[in-house]
Amino acid sequence: MIPKETLIEWLKEIDKRLKRKITIVAVGGTAMTLLGLKLSTIDVDFCLRKEDKELFEKAMTKQFNKVDLFIDGYIFAEQLPQDYKEKAKEILRLERITLKALHPIDIIITKAARLNARDEEDIAAVAKYVNKKELIERFGEVVKTYAGREEDYQYNFDTVLRRFFSEK
């Protein structure tokens, strides 16, 4: 398990090796850990611009077993709206790295696509910070870009609404 402090120390080391400024957006459990919604994450997930991916990979140390890098808001099987970076919360600004965490609404949106048991635990932790109406609006923007079966994604999202937002 990887706590927030360990993630930040790792990023500080990477920051020293980078040649230029980049912005990275933590997603999934990594975002939740940085936002203080979980104590730790089992892997590291970041989204960054396509042109920054190779630069970041070259600067990374092999400290963690699994580091997933997503490109330009395309996370798992869906493309987040272009404003995902603006909606993300800034966590830390280093010399070259600006670290942000995905907005809780977008965390739910991305976790609803797969919706396994761990995703449901995470959604339960995030749901209290999310407005149901805003979540439904955001899903409407994202579902059109889903790369998998839209019916499956809609079913999962409806399940999320029933389980975590029925009283909101």
Same domain, yes or no, for 77 and 137? no
Same domain, yes or no, for 111 and 133? yes
**Strands of 78-79's sheet, edge to edge?**
78-79, 74-75, 67-71, 44-48, 22-26, 97-101, 89-93
Same domain, yes or no, for 88 and 130? no
Mean pLDDT of the chain: 94
Is pTM beyond 0.85? Reply is: yes
Domain range for 96 is 2-103
For residue 145, the model assigns a pLDDT of 84
Taken as a whole, the chain contains a residue count of: 168
* Residue where one domain finishes, among candidates 103, 119, 141: 103
Asked if residue 57 lies in contact with residue 70, where contact means CB atoms within 8 angstroms, the answer is no
Average pLDDT over residues 103-127: 95
Same domain, yes or no, for 46 and 10? yes
Same domain, yes or no, for 78 and 155? no
Same domain, yes or no, for 12 and 45? yes
Q: Report the domain count for the chain.
A: 2
Nearest to 43 by CA among 9, 66, 70: 66
Same domain, yes or no, for 96 and 151? no
What are the tens digits of pLDDT across the range 69-113? 999 999 877 888 889 999 999 999 999 999 999 999 999 999 999
- Written as one string, the DSSP assignment of 34-60 is HTTSSSEESSEEEEE-HHHHHHHHHH-
CA 60 to each of CA 2, 10, 41, 44: distance values in angstroms, whole numbers, following the listed order: 16, 8, 18, 12
Residue 39 is encoded by which pair of tokens? 């104590």
* Residue where one domain finishes, among candidates 103, 133, 154: 103
Same domain, yes or no, for 119 and 156? yes
Same domain, yes or no, for 99 and 121? no
Same domain, yes or no, for 83 and 142? no
